[in-house]
């Protein structure tokens, strides 16, 4: 039943309407299907999670013609599979065809824990990591810079294989946990790390008893500023009062009413130069 409902919903929101045509034309011109001439862009991004709200998110984005950037890892999901598995492949393909942009969140949602330095030179040569997904979930071990970059590339390659669309040469480190050496290693491998604005932390992963949805919405509408990168997830296991149904659409509507428009990170001035570089194409 769940699979039939999913396929039906995916077909309903597959981007065959006006917005998808606008997205295709805008992408060809380096633009985005949002309010023309808007001088107050914000950049809404979603990291993966349990995917329980993914269909709702897709509906809201299409309804308001809001383009976003998704950072994807292969995380466990509510239906029992994983977010980059075959079950969710049609969902990712539909989002790409609607004009959203996709990027890596590392394949196994691999958290950086610490730098490992060579005892003789003091140079960082390896990284201690702890993934929250995959065969080595919740284990702490050491990887080389090349192995870490391969972990980033694995998610990007999977997205490209199931969507037929090129991913952005960007990635988001799980939890935003990084070091200068980790960021440099990722850049050498062709990937630029993307964080978020302080006001753009939308709070969907915070405990709902201490951070209720109405307060999160009010805080975001008051504090978000022109150029901010916003962060949310496609489902957080630990939050008891789900964020998206209560906050996502009112937030989008509220920002639009305040004169903001939405863009993907492909248009963010801090990343356009990096994206245009031949090695990162």
pLDDT tens digit sequence for 212-236: 999 999 999 999 999 999 999 999 9
- Whether 243 has a pLDDT exceeding 90, the answer reads yes
- Average confidence (pLDDT) over 11-39: 38
Per the listing, tokens 């004009």 go with: 99
Which pLDDT does position 1 carry in this prediction? 36
Say if residue 8's pLDDT is above 90. Answer: no
The reported pLDDT for the residue numbered 36 is 53
pLDDT at 279 over 70: no
* Average pLDDT of the chain, as a whole number: 88
pLDDT tens-digit profile of 97-137?
A: 999 999 999 999 999 999 999 999 999 999 999 999 999 99
pLDDT band, very low/low/confident/very high, at 80 (cuts 50, 70, 90): confident
Instruction: Tell me which residue has tokens 């939405």.
Output: 262
pLDDT of residue 278: 79
Give pLDDT, residue 256: 97
Give 33-77 pLDDT, tens digit per residue.
334 567 899 999 999 999 999 999 999 999 999 999 999 999 999
pLDDT at 192: 97
At residue 79 the predicted structure's pLDDT band, cuts being 50, 70 and 90, is confident
Sheet holding 110-117, edge to edge: 110-117, 124-131, 141-144
């Amino acid at each position: 039943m769940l699979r039939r409902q999913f396929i039906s919903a995916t077909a309903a929101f597959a981007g065959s309407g006006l917005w998808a045509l606008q997205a295709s034309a805008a992408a060809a011109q380096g633009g985005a299907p949002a309010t023309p001439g808007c001088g107050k862009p914000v950049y809404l991004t979603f990291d993966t999670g349990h995917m329980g709200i993914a269909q709702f998110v897709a509906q809201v984005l299409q309804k308001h013609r809001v383009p976003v950037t998704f950072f994807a890892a292969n995380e466990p999901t509510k239906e029992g599979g994983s977010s980059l598995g075959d079950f969710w492949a049609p969902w990712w393909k539909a989002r790409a065809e609607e004009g959203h942009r996709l990027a890596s969140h590392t394949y196994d949602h691999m958290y950086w824990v610490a730098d490992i330095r060579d005892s003789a030179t003091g140079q960082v040569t390896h990284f201690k990591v702890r993934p929250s997904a995959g065969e080595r979930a919740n284990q702490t071990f050491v990887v080389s810079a090349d192995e870490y970059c391969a972990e980033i590339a694995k998610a990007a390659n999977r997205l490209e294989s199931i969507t037929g669309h090129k991913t952005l040469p960007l990635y988001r480190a799980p939890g935003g946990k990084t070091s200068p050496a980790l960021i440099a290693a990722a850049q050498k491998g062709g990937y630029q790390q993307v964080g978020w604005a302080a006001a753009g932390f939308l709070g969907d992963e915070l405990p709902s008893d201490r951070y209720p949805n109405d307060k999160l919405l009010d805080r975001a509408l008051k504090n978000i500023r022109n150029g901010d990168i916003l962060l949310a997830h496609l489902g957080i296991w630990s939050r008891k009062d789900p964020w998206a149904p209560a906050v996502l659409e009112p937030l989008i509507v509220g920002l639009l009413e305040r004169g903001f428009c939405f863009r993907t990170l492909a248009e963010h001035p801090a990343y356009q130069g990096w994206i245009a570089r031949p090695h990162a194409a």
